[in-house]
Amino acid sequence: MNLLPIKSGVKPLLAVSVLCTIGVIFTAYAIVSIHNSEKCMIAKQYLENNPEFLDQVGSIINYGYFVSHHVSNSETKSYIGLKVQGTKKTVRVKVHFIKDPEGNWKIYSFSTVKGFII
């Protein structure tokens, strides 16, 4: 039963367009959600106040748009991966978290990712 007077060749194109639009919206939401998450904010604050890191990269100019996030199977360990642009160089950083007994995420280490130093 055809409810809309649309040629049959247009329907698949419309369906693909709608699915692509939904995919783009979902991806944008996911990126913004991770970028503005509590863990990401804690990681950025930690890096901005870490003298050893700032000696390496210089003053932080900007952070990359794409942030990676991983939580272990036991949900007690996690990391945030982000690109940090400094005045001296740009690096990809992993900030590692562990969940304390009260359920709060605490940073226990960070590292630059080899092969991503620009």
Q: Are strands 68-71 and 77-86 parallel, antiparallel or unpaired?
A: antiparallel
CA distance 69 to 78: 7
Rounded Cα–Cα distance for residues 60 and 44 (Å): 10
Helix (H, G, I), strand (E, B) or coil at 103: coil
Confidence of residue 118 (pLDDT cuts 50, 70, 90): very low
Q: Which residues contact 73 (CB under 8 A, 6 or more apart)?
A: none
Who wins on pLDDT, 110 or 4? Answer: 110
Q: What is the pLDDT of residues 17-59, one digit of tens each?
A: 777 777 666 555 555 555 567 888 899 999 999 999 999 999 9
The sign one gets for the Cα dihedral 33, 78, 49, 84 is negative
Sketch the domain layout of the chain as residue ranges: 10-112
pLDDT of residue 2: 55
Task: Tell me the pLDDT tens digit for each residue of 72-94.
Answer: 767 788 888 899 999 999 999 99
At residue 34, the pLDDT reads 55
Instruction: Name the CATH topology of 10-112.
Output: Nuclear Transport Factor 2; Chain: A, (3.10.450)
Burial class of residue 43, CB neighbours in 10 A (0-12, 13-18, 19+): buried
Nearest CA-CA partner of 47 in 93, 99, 115, 87: 93
Distance, in Å, from the CA atom of 78 to the CA atom of 108, rounded to the nearest integer, reads: 10
